[in-house]
Structure 1
């Protein structure tokens, strides 16, 4: 396999973002234009599928590009009383 493919991480984008960087991160991971990913979320939402729910879920699960842990993992660690390391 290509070495750069093996080093790819599924993370929210810090530079290509409108809200939380989810679409930009997905686009960077798949190596496609982020506009295509954004349009897919709009189409899913317009067709009655829960594009907004999927976006929020991805925002919670995907860590930001400069963080080790996702937002959901940080919330769970705080709830458990463990230190939240970024």
Structure 2
């Protein structure tokens, strides 16, 4: 895999409601963002996933690079 071909996890600039975490995960895995949001909500409500995990991801995952319109 070359440096130009790397698939990296970023917070989404387009699909964001709070921080772009779900949008970034959806882009990374090639899924619909609504499914990621629903899964995260269910994990928080019923599986004991803490909101702290979301906040930590917000701090760790970088924002997507700015796109230049040519």
TM-score range, shorter chain: 0.7 to 0.9
- Residue 60 of structure 2 corresponds to which residue in structure 1? 61
TM-score, normalised with respect to structure 2: 0.79
TM-score (norm 1): 0.66
Larger radius of gyration between Structure 1 and Structure 2: 1
Number of residue-to-residue matches in the alignment: 64
Higher relative contact order (Cα pairs below 8 Å, separated by 6+ residues): 2
- Give the corresponding residue for 1:20: 19
Unpaired stretches in structure 1, ≥5 consecutive residues:
68-86
Q: CA RMSD in A?
A: 1.9
